[in-house]
Amino acid sequence: MEFLQAIGQYEFLQKALFTSVVVGMICGVIGSFIILRGMSLMGDAISHAVLPGVALSYAFGINFFVGAVITGVLTAVGIGYVSQNSRIKNDTAIGILFTSAFALGIIMITMLKSSTDLYHILFGNVLAVRPSDMWVTVGIGVVVIVTVYAFYKELLLTSFDPTIAAAYGLRNNLIHYLLMTLLTMVTVASLQTVGIVLVVAMLITPAATAYLLTDRLWVMIYLAAGFGMISAIVGLYFSFTYNLASGATIVMVATGLFLLAFLFSRKNGVVWKSLRARQKRVELSK
């Protein structure tokens, strides 16, 4: 109740809520493709790799969005290049490149700004969302949703069956880098809400929850977006009421939803599976 009153009262809280809901939604949408393509680690990598870009943007006084997208995409390209042109496997290439980008970012931020800023970038500070940040997030949200809608067929096909995609003359690489660009944008939008360190949870946990509940891609995307939004709202409530870091509470709610699906999903839930197995054994023993 207090939370609802506070929302009505404080503009900063309205902005925080609105921004986190948008972030929850687009993280779910992009996250669905990330987990289906087996790129969860890539999500973690890109989110860390935006740090030097953010630092550079501070240094040159430009919008942090620009720098973040540049270093994010550069890292994605670098990972692809290293894993395709050496015997280094993809996960190792990801590990090497994102940690070095992250380390570089930490050094740059510390040299340029105070450590409080670093703390906010790493862990998020949703209550300090400025109107301009909110509009950047909304803009990113629109771009992400329009792009996913427009290229839905291509995203589905390259994720499910890249060989047939290539036989149809589709460039798998182009779709991959399109997705990496969207991923970078979503990460940047999430910086203030959940912070760099926990972005990956917002990307993969709601999507993984949805994945356990359906056999249709579009349903999965809607569910993932829904779970992302619920996590944002409920998480912000806990954050506000108990004065906790918003990123952490949002992620904990998302994890709670995942656990429920993991245990009780009708088709894949651990509980129903073991019940069905037991029933079968009882039937046979009669």
Partner 1 sequence: MKHAISVRELHVSYFGNEVVRDVSFSIEQGSMVGIIGPNGAGKSTLIKAMLGLIPSDKGDIRFYGKETNEVRKQIAYVPQRSQIDWTFPITVMDTVLIGTYPSVGLFKFPKKKEKAWALECLRKVGLEEFRNRQIGELSGGQQQRVFLARALAQKPELLLLDEPFVGIDVASEETIIHILKELQLEDKTIVVVHHDLSKANTYFDQLLLMNKELIKFGATHEVLNREVMSKAYAHQLQFLEKTEVHA
Site residues, partner 1 (CB under 8 A): 36, 38, 150, 152-154, 156-157, 159-161, 163-164, 166-169, 211, 214-217, 219-220
Residue (135 or 168) nearer to partner 1, CB: 168
Residue (87 or 286) nearer to partner 1, CB: 87
CB of 28 to partner 1, least distance (A): 14
Q: For the chain, give the number of residues.
A: 286
Residue (69 or 217) nearer to partner 1, CB: 217
Q: What is the dihedral sign for C-alpha 44, 40, 228, 209?
A: negative
Residues 6 or more apart whose CB falls under 8 angstroms from that of 181 comprise 69, 72, 73
Burial pattern 224-261, b for ≥16 Cβ within 10 A else e, equals bbbbbbbbbebbbbbbbeeeebbbbbbbbbbeebbeeb
CB of 218 to partner 1, least distance (A): 9
C-alpha separations of 228 from 28, 39, 223, 251 in Å: 6, 19, 8, 9
Residues 6 or more apart whose CB falls under 8 angstroms from that of 134 comprise 15, 18, 19
CB of 158 to partner 1, least distance (A): 11
Nearest to 172 by CA among 158, 155, 156: 158
Residue (207 or 253) nearer to partner 1, CB: 207
Residues 6 or more apart whose CB falls under 8 angstroms from that of 85 comprise none
CB of 163 to partner 1, least distance (A): 5
Tell me how far apart the alpha carbons of residues 223 and 211 are, in angstroms, rounded to a whole number: 9
The 3-state secondary structure of 188-218, one letter per residue: HHHHHHHCHHHHHHHHHHHHHHHHCCCCCHH
Residue entry with tokens 């429920």: 260
CB of 152 to partner 1, least distance (A): 7
Residue (268 or 279) nearer to partner 1, CB: 268
CB of 37 to partner 1, least distance (A): 9
Residue (7 or 156) nearer to partner 1, CB: 156
Residue (66 or 219) nearer to partner 1, CB: 219
CB of 264 to partner 1, least distance (A): 18
Residues 6 or more apart whose CB falls under 8 angstroms from that of 128 comprise 12, 120, 192
